Structure 1
């Protein structure tokens, strides 16, 4: 964290050094971008510095990236807010990490559904999720679980996303259960922001996929698949 702060602060100093009449906006942006990327970080592109004039956010816009010699020329009398914003990781790396979390969570749902067969136990389903998720360095949320669908929206039995094979109540033909893997990239603990909103306690990303599954003589039947994909087997 200290390195990130130091690099960001130095990028501001380098940008300010380019804030001279005759230089171009691209010279300033390049000073930030080149320094930041040299240290393995990335600049935020959605937000930019800006002029201060008759409006708080006035012209010109000052991106934290650019090419030397490009953009409008700086002129004496201009007042500009110089605002380097730096991410600790490259955006494309972050996207790959998020995609992996989604892929692992979705696969854990498929593995859980494969265990939704009469005679198997709840622990078999939970173990299928937990073992796959932890194999990839993630954790399962323990405060929230899958559940039966019956006369109440959240009915018995509860279906945790963790467990031991061969343990728990047996699944029976005719049961309808919401299978809901919830996977955190970091630690498993969550906290309630308010009555409805849950968030990870450590601020790490989280993913959740869900299907409602009926247990039939022919195996699991996914009731919440799109219409063209419904059928007696998954």
Structure 2
């Protein structure tokens, strides 16, 4: 790996760690979810990087990929299990980090996830199959009588691309690639006391540029230009586009210009 690239990744990681740590301290009953999202996103910028994707703040049975909408007035509540998943980038080189904040009595769930991550990091390295990482994750989680979420995975990170090969499974499997020198990966264990699978629900608030092409509507052209200039192929939140009507964003996604 080029040394300049390596330093950008390290710096993005340091910035992200500080921003996430500060944001986690603000998570408490009665605090608005939107306030925490906007804090961590702006803090990343203040520290010298940019958000690699909208702050994901998923609560309880929502495992991942939730970000608050514009003027969202929902708050954290006593007993919540809060997953804060955030990314930062410098010139497109991405760091990705998540932390669980327990506002209830979910100690075993949090410990299982933490130990699964530590076990995976211990195993990971060039020449190691991702199946070995998945095995380490699954064993750490099942030791607590819990299950890994099998249809959520870790992933590779490439410049301006938050989800790239390889997939890092959260369970033992015979399939999967061998890690190579220079790869950048995000290991993302998910432990649950449920069935171990997730589905999709709710409104989409996160999009990314998919297939830009000329469009007739002036406002649609302006939205695409803003997205391409500011975010390139990185995910963005609808709330980041202050003047973009939801109906036009949805139309651009329906027409295949944006990925929902």
Tell whether the structures are fold-level matches, with TM greater than 0.5. no
When Rg is computed on C-alpha atoms for both structures, the one with the higher figure is: 1
TM-score category, normalised to shorter length: 0.3 to 0.5
Q: Identify, as 1 or 2, the structure richer in helix.
A: 2
TM (norm. structure 2) is 0.37
TM (norm. structure 1) is 0.40
